Amino acid sequence: MPLLPITLFGDKILRKKTSKVTEVDNKTIELIKNMFATMRNANGIGLAANQVGADKAIFVVDISAVEDHEDSKPMTIINPKIIERSEEKNVMEEGCLSVPEIKIEIERPAEIIITYQDVNLKEHTIKV
């Protein structure tokens, strides 16, 4: 699988609202496979389609290399929408493949509930 160039901070596509995915065709499946390969090659745990220059509401995540998450399965998240945020906050160190070499402390809700679609466009709701 070819590795995709990662779009770096400052590129306009990273600030643009991505387009909703209405069909998962062979081209989209190939993009997703290449996103996983690119993310793993860069030692990342998540990668959004706009980070590889694609205007699609897709991100991939694989946290199985993170301590206490070894049993987690890789996920493809299509058309995600946050539907609830907890009042409680957590501060954690984060990095971003589009801003290489930099890690900073970020405050986020301790839990969120999202709806999303999988590669079959079946809808799911999860709490993370």
**pLDDT per residue as tens digits for the range 70-113:** 778 999 999 999 999 999 999 999 999 999 889 999 999 999 99
Q: Does 6 reside within a domain?
A: no
User: What's the structural domain count of the chain?
Assistant: 1
Q: Does 5 reside within a domain?
A: no
In angstroms, the Cα distances linking 103 to 37, 61, 106 are 22, 18, 9
Q: Does 3 reside within a domain?
A: no
Q: Does 23 reside within a domain?
A: yes
- For position 75, which CATH number holds? 3.90.45.10
Of the candidates 93, 100, 56, the one whose C-alpha atom is nearest the C-alpha of residue 76 is 56
Domain span holding position 75: 12-127
Of the candidates 87, 91, 126, the one whose C-alpha atom is nearest the C-alpha of residue 108 is 91
Read off the pLDDT of residues 32-81 as tens digits, 9 standing for 90 and up: 999 999 999 999 999 999 999 999 999 999 987 767 767 789 999 999 99
Amino acid at 59: F
